[in-house]
Amino acid sequence: MKSILLCAALAALLPASAMAQDRYAERPPLVVSPDLSAPWVMQLQRAPNGAPIRERAVRRQVAPGARMAVAPAPIIRQRAVVVAPDPVHTAAMAPAAPRDSAPQMDPIFLPQEVAYTGREKPGTIVIDTNAKFLYLVQEGGTARRYGVGVGKEGFSWRGSETITRKAEWPGWTPPAQMIARERAKGKILPAHMPGGPENPLGARALYLGSTLYRIHGTNAPWTIGQAVSSGCIRMRNEDVTDLYERVKVGTRVVVS
C-alpha cells in the first residue's frame, strides 16, 4: 500500500517539474533603461555631510544564459529655429544695389571724321560753341570732330588763343570769383583739389593763353553737348586724351 502511494506521489511531481522547465525554457529578457535607473542610483548614493556625489558604474548581476534587452534611446525631435536676420551683416553680405544710371550723352557727340571747308589751316583747333563741336583740322579737307560742353549763358566767349601748357590729371584751383559766386549759392568749393577721377578737370587739360580757360576733361560726361561750364571747353576724358596726343604747345585755338 505504501509503495502504491509513493509511486502516485512521484507521478504527480514529474509533470509539475516538466511544466516548470517548459515555463522557464525561454527566459524573459531583462529590460534596463538608463533614463529610468540613473535617478534612483543617484538617490541611493547620498554623500555624507553634503559632499558632492560622484557617479559610479552600477553593475547588475545577470544569470548566465539570460538575455538582456536595452531600451532604445529616446527619440529627440528637433524643431527648426528661425533666426531673425542681423541687419548689419545682412546688409554687408547682400549684393550692392545698382546705382541709378546717369543720363546718357547723345551719340552725335562721339568722335568722327567729317568734311571741313573752313579757312583754318591743318593743325588748328576750331570750336563751334553754338553747335557744341570741336574740330581738329586735318589735311585733305577733313577734320576730326568731338562733342564738347561750353560756357553757360553769361560765361561764353569768342576769340583766338594758343595752347600754352598741357597737363595730365591736373589739379584744380578754383578762381576767387568762382569761390565767391558758389558760396553765395550755399556751395563751398575747395581752395585746391588734386587731380584724379573726381576732379572736374578730368584726365587732361590744355591751357589757353594767359586766360583762366582750358580745354579739359570732365567727371560728368553726360553734360557733353550742353552749355554748362563757366567758360571752359569740356570733353569726355577719352576724347580729351585723344586730342592731347594729337596737338602740342603753340597750337592755335579759334573759339566762335
Q: Are 120 and 89 in contact (CB under 8 A)?
A: no
Say which of 7, 89, 192, 216 is annotated catalytic.
216
Q: Can you give the three-state secondary structure of 194-217, one letter per residue?
A: CCCCCCCCCCEEEEECCCCCEEEC
The residues, any chain, with a CB within 8 Å of residue 153's CB and separated by 6 or more, are 227
The angle formed by the CA atoms of residues 213, 215 and 216, to the nearest 5 degrees, is 110
Residue with cell 588763343: 161
Residue 228 and residue 156: Cα distance in Å, rounded?
10
Say how many C-beta atoms besides its own lie within 10 A of residue 141's C-beta: 11
Say which of 7, 89, 192, 232 is annotated catalytic.
232
Active site residue 216: yes
Q: Are 202 and 217 in contact (CB under 8 A)?
A: yes
Active site residue 7: no
What is the tally of helices (H) and strands (E) in the chain? 5, 13
Q: Is 224 helix (H, G, I), strand (E, B) or coil?
A: coil
Residue 202 and residue 171: Cα distance in Å, rounded?
9
Active-site amino acid positions: 216, 232
